[in-house]
Amino acid sequence: MSDVIMFEELIKSSPFAVIELFELHLDPVIHGSNTIFRFYSGVVVQTSTAEIIYQGNTYVAIPIEAQGFEYTAGQSGFPRPTLRVGNLFSVVSALMLNVNETTFGNDLTGAKVVRIKTLSRFLDAVNFTGGTNPYGTPSGEQMPQEVYFVNRKIVENRDVVEFELAAKLDLETSRLQSGNVLPTFASGFTAAPSVATQAQIILMKTIILLEPLPRLTSPIQAAMKNLLTVNL
């Protein structure tokens, strides 16, 4: 059975089949881009174009395995889901290398992951044969979106990249407990230290070793103290 027939049969025989979509939102401050990547598990559902159109947005097929979103009995705290993404042609590795140019060693940490679950009957008409949704005009209805953030990279190899996700509140709590606090500058702007910033920190540490602090002006001392509190 071809991919086209498989997708058409899924929609025809099961208009209430659950379709799982994902979005990865980059942060321009720490990732250098505000790009949104939209994808779905092409292993589960395949279309003639390897794409699903939902609410006018295109979701491309990528092998994905997502688990751990559900709350369990007696669980304390938020779930820590994992997202395993196929790394064919090193596409995910290349994306991480790109964002690491903005924030050294970031590996997509802090990127927002949105999990969308809807029914096949609510997909855009363009997904159906003849461009007509046999179940009427799609309303774009969906279950409540689940929003998480990339907490850390677990595994990276030529086949797959696996990430641990965390709720925003859980992510902030984890950073505070680990002491991984981002530097805050005079303007109130908070960001992860870039390569240039790290070089400045090393330079400042060298200056402190060579120059007694009492001989430095108070504003410079304050600036140095701020930089030296960064946990690299």
Structure confidence at residue 153 (pLDDT) = 97
Query: What is the number of domains present in the chain?
Result: 2
Q: How far apart are CA 224 and CA 221, in angstroms?
A: 5
Q: Are residues 93 and 192 in the same domain?
A: no
Structure confidence at residue 164 (pLDDT) = 97
Q: Are residues 185 and 170 in the same domain?
A: no
- In the three-class reduction of DSSP (H, G, I as helix; E, B as strand; rest coil), residue 62 is classed as strand
Q: Are residues 18 and 98 in the same domain?
A: yes
Please write the tens of the pLDDT for every residue from 190-214: 444 444 444 444 444 444 344 444 4
Q: pTM of whole model > 0.75?
A: no
Final residue before a domain boundary, out of 154, 178, 202: 178
Q: Which domain holds residue 194?
A: 181-232
Q: Are residues 169 and 187 in the same domain?
A: no
Inform me whether the pLDDT recorded for 57 exceeds 90.
Answer: yes
Q: Are residues 56 and 14 in the same domain?
A: yes
Least confident segment among 48-52, 78-82, 179-183:
179-183
Final residue before a domain boundary, out of 178, 197, 223: 178
Inform me whether the pLDDT recorded for 66 exceeds 60.
Answer: yes
Q: Are residues 93 and 200 in the same domain?
A: no
Q: Are residues 188 and 160 in the same domain?
A: no
- Read off the DSSP letter of residue 167: -
- Which of 37-46, 102-111, 216-225 is most confident? 102-111
Close Cβ partners of 78 (under 8 Å, ≥ 6 residues apart): 166, 167, 169, 170
Structure confidence at residue 114 (pLDDT) = 97
Q: Are residues 30 and 97 in the same domain?
A: yes
Q: Are residues 151 and 85 in the same domain?
A: yes
Of the chain, the end-to-end C-alpha distance in Å amounts to 53
Structure confidence at residue 195 (pLDDT) = 47
Q: Are residues 173 and 207 in the same domain?
A: no
Q: Are residues 52 and 22 in the same domain?
A: yes
Q: Are residues 192 and 109 in the same domain?
A: no
| Identity at 216, one-letter amino acid code | L
